[in-house]
Structure 1
Amino acid sequence: MFGYYVSLALRSLRGTPVLSALMVAAIAVGVGASMTTLTLNYMMSQNALQHKDDRLYAVQLDSWAPEKAYQNDTQMPWELTYRDAQALLRSDIPSRQVAMHRWGATVSQENSELRPFTAQIRVTTRDFFALFDIPFIYGNTWHKSSDQNPTREVVLSKKTNEKLFNGENSVGRSINLNGEPFTVVGVIEHWNPTPKVYDLNNGAFKNSEEIYMPFGLHRQLQIYSWGNLNGWKSEDISNYEDLLNSHYVWVQYWVELDNEKKKHDYENFLAAYIETQKTKGYFPRPLKFGLTRPSEWLVVNEVLSDDNRILGWLSLAFLLVCVVNAIALLLAKFLRKAPEAGVRRALGASRKAIFSQHLIESGCIGLIGGVMGILLTLLGLSLIRTLQMGRLDQIASMDWVMMLAAIGLAILASLLAGIYPAWRISNTNPSVYLKTQ
């Protein structure tokens, strides 16, 4: 019976092409507008570290000014001082821990026709790759001693390795950073989480770094952060060592704690560290620190802002307006077919059968409108990518989940639009129309 009703629906759509086109357009425009916004919100709210959400934590220490808290929801700086990061690295409680920040340098090769280019670099500790589950194509990360000692080694991204070495195994080969030679020890697979949950301070939707280098190179190369550098008081920074010992926060810190006991032990470790630093005149505020899971980190950093949520609701409101228009069009279309329905009722068709037939016709309109809505959504996302000049390439895209959601939303909208018109025609007295036949 369902197949028969579908064939009737298609025949009816062909019989009234103008009304049918208007209804499909109303649903398609509503779905296209709403799914464009909802797709962006959906992609912005993704958590690439969801599979480790129960054991990864972003670390915060309240080392800010005594008279006022840091201006964010946590009331603590997002990052740590270099001095604090070095102290935390000495703990053996976390199974893995990562201190890191963003940097950049000019990349070149000896005896190569490739023009020098500026690369985004992550200065980090060796656990970075294991903590964030980044697979290697060739080689591996550097030795643990390189986290404290200057070792001129680098790990390349897959894209950078293809650019420099045509994708070949480059382990043991050399590149120059700012004219200084570095040895390649590993090449990682393509890894570009969106949003960049591991570093939300420097653009949540920017591409991941092209090169990774050991944390122990700071003093030798005098590496300055290419990210945020914040402090709560003016300090006399006359040399690089002054920066490393200053109150400026610029180092991001993550730990992996496998169970609740380790988390409890690490909390005690952080509390004891802060208390010790207080005796030396640091940490003037009341004792406070934060261990935040990746899912919570995305929320407190407001990756999906209130403005985005409001736009999402407004887009659904626009879809509701389109549904109201579709109701009027469906009612006009169905009432034109009332004599046909009256004959069917007189021949023994039940009200339920008439209602089901017309509701299925509404669903067919929704299915076609959903497909058209997907095309409009893809067009809208393409325009966003163009206007943003590539800055939102990672999120202005539609996966199969959102495509299925678009079709489901269109069918749901059309069924809701068809309930009243279908009920209206199924409850019409057939005798009225029999007199007109």
Structure 2
Amino acid sequence: MFSYYLQLALHSFRRSPGLTALMVIIMGIGVAASMTTYAVFRAVSGDPLPDKSAQLFVPQIDNAGPQNGSTRNHLPDALTYTDAMALMQAKAGTRQTAVYPITGHIEPSDGLQQRPFSANGYAAYADFFAMFDVPFQYGHGWSSGDDDRHTNVIAISSRLNQRLFAGINSVGRILHLDGHDYRVVGVIHDWNPQPRFFDVNNGFSFGGAPDYYLPFTRAIDLHISSNGNNNCSGSAKPVTPGWDGWLRSECVWVSLWVELPHVTAVQRYQRLLSDYAAEQQRHGRFQWASNVRLFDLNGWLDHEGVVPPETKVSVLVAGGFLLVCLVNTVGLLLAKIMRRAGEVGVRRALGASRGHIYAQFLVEAAAIGVAGGLLGLLLTAVGMHGTALLFEPGVARLARLTAGLVGLTVWVAVSATVLAGLYPAWRAARVQPSWQLKSQ
């Protein structure tokens, strides 16, 4: 019966091509607008580590007091060096790493005809790579012993490896960075989670992959300052000048991540945070009640407002536009179907049940939906190139026409059109054959 209903639908399309084309265009535009904005929203709001996000946590400590109303929930976006090191030394998590963004100048060697160039990286601990499931093309991350010895080692991206070493296995080679020699221990294989969850507090949520990673302890030895936010406002400003004064200050600039595999570990770490803040209060450092939080990965992304507000607004607007398209399609389908009341009456008189009529027009609506979906795919592909007009370039680049989005686009178009055809099909099924035969 389906093939018969499809033949009836094609015959109906040939009889009223203009009206059919108008419905296809309306659905195609509505679906394309919604799918394009959804692609952007999905890219920026997805879970960057779905297999481990529930085990990764960010501890926060209020070191500025209730008068610091500029931060979210009176909590800074990072930790002081003092607090980060105290929590690192506690080793209360299965793994833990302090991390902050850095930048440096790489000096090509081995006869390469290149000038020194700037590169962006991170200072982190050895646990960083295992915690975040960082894949390696060659080698591996450094060891905790390298952290303790403050070793000159480095892990580089595959892109930097291609630029400096023509993509070969460069483990053991020497890289010159800011006048220091570093031994390459690993080449990271195309790892660039979006959003970059471990550095959203510095505004580096979206963008290209980092070029390199250095041991945190070595970066501190070399006085490599943060390339991110350094909140030293008010009383947080260093009392004494210089690097050591900055480290001992109340400036917040270090991110800390811990891996806690189960609920008991989370509760234990929360008690550790509360006890630590209470201890600092007893020592006179904090003059207010302790205020600490422990965010899981997705909670941290929400706390930092990683999803740009314009993406949420765009999704709502596009959804409303699709609803308007549906309403218009309902009206057009109703007009198209009711013009065929005589045909429906004849079919009913020849023995077709209301269910048969209902199925016939739903198949016709689905066929329009398929055509609208195909048009929507084409317009969605075009819309991907126009996302930069509405969103920041780093966000717009994330929108891609994947196989999943292709299937979703067609499914939305067909489902929406079938939904729009429910009422017109019901009206057609209610046609009284006796009335139509008399009118004929």
Is residue 76 of structure 1 aligned with residue 54 of structure 2?
A: no
User: What is the match of residue 342 of structure 2?
Assistant: 339
How big is the alpha-carbon RMSD for the aligned residues of Structure 1 and Structure 2?
2.1
1:206-257 CA distance string (max 9 Å, x none): 2231100110123432111111111342424521111111110000100001
**How much does 1:322 deviate?**
0.8
User: What is the match of residue 139 of structure 2?
Assistant: 139
Is residue 430 of structure 1 aligned with residue 433 of structure 2?
A: yes
Alpha-carbon distance in structure 1 between the residues aligned to 2:59 and 2:403: 35
Alpha-carbon distance in structure 2 between the residues aligned to 1:32 and 1:125: 45
Task: Give 2:168's aligned amino acid.
Answer: E
Question: Which has the larger helix fraction?
Answer: 2
1:12-31 CA distance string (max 9 Å, x none): 22332111110000111111
Unaligned runs of 5+ in 2: none
**How much does 1:39 deviate?**
1.9
Secondary structure of the equivalent of 1:3? helix
**Conservation of the 8 A alpha-carbon contact between 2:44 and 2:395:** no
Alpha-carbon distance in structure 2 between the residues aligned to 1:323 and 1:389: 30
Is residue 209 of structure 1 aligned with residue 210 of structure 2?
A: yes
Secondary structure of the equivalent of 1:184? strand
**How much does 1:327 deviate?**
1.6
Secondary structure of the equivalent of 2:386? helix
**How much does 1:148 deviate?**
4.7
Task: Give 2:223's aligned amino acid.
Answer: Q
1:100-146 CA distance string (max 9 Å, x none): 01111111212211332211111111111000011222122223243
User: What is the match of residue 218 of structure 1?
Assistant: 219
Alpha-carbon distance in structure 1 between the residues aligned to 2:287 and 2:3: 74
Say which of 409, 413, 417 aligns to 1:414: 417
Alpha-carbon distance in structure 2 between the residues aligned to 1:360 and 1:65: 65
User: What is the match of residue 292 of structure 1?
Assistant: 295
1:365-398 CA distance string (max 9 Å, x none): 1111112112212211211147768422552223
Alpha-carbon distance in structure 2 between the residues aligned to 1:389 and 1:270: 37
User: What is the match of residue 377 of structure 2?
Assistant: 374
**How much does 1:411 deviate?**
1.6
Alpha-carbon distance in structure 1 between the residues aligned to 2:193 and 2:420: 39
Q: Across the two proteins, how many residue pairs are aligned to each other?
A: 436
**Conservation of the 8 A alpha-carbon contact between 1:196 and 1:208:** no
Secondary structure of the equivalent of 2:14? helix
**Conservation of the 8 A alpha-carbon contact between 1:65 and 1:233:** no
Residues 42 and 388 of structure 1: is their aligned pair in 2 closer, same or farther, counting only changes over 3 Å? closer
Task: Give 1:359's aligned amino acid.
Answer: L
Residues 212 and 393 of structure 1: is their aligned pair in 2 closer, same or farther, counting only changes over 3 Å? farther
**Conservation of the 8 A alpha-carbon contact between 1:63 and 1:285:** no
**Conservation of the 8 A alpha-carbon contact between 2:108 and 2:176:** yes
Alpha-carbon distance in structure 1 between the residues aligned to 2:240 and 2:115: 36
1:1-57 CA distance string (max 9 Å, x none): 122212221232233211111000011111111111222222221011221133210
**How much does 1:432 deviate?**
4.0
Residues 70 and 19 of structure 1: is their aligned pair in 2 closer, same or farther, counting only changes over 3 Å? same
TM-score with structure 2 setting the length: 0.93
Equivalence map 1:193-208=2 (5 Å): 193-201=193-201, 202-208=203-209
Of 144-153 and 213-222, more deviation after overlay is shown by 144-153
Of 374-383 and 276-285, more deviation after overlay is shown by 276-285
Equivalence map 1:235-274=2 (5 Å): 235=237, 236=239, 238-274=241-277
Alpha-carbon distance in structure 1 between the residues aligned to 2:218 and 2:49: 28
User: What is the match of residue 398 of structure 2?
Assistant: 395
TM-score with structure 1 setting the length: 0.94
User: What is the match of residue 19 of structure 1?
Assistant: 19
**Conservation of the 8 A alpha-carbon contact between 1:101 and 1:250:** yes
**How much does 1:356 deviate?**
1.3
Unaligned runs of 5+ in 1: none
1:306-353 CA distance string (max 9 Å, x none): 553333222111111111111222122222322222221121111221
**How much does 1:284 deviate?**
3.0
Alpha-carbon distance in structure 2 between the residues aligned to 1:386 and 1:164: 35
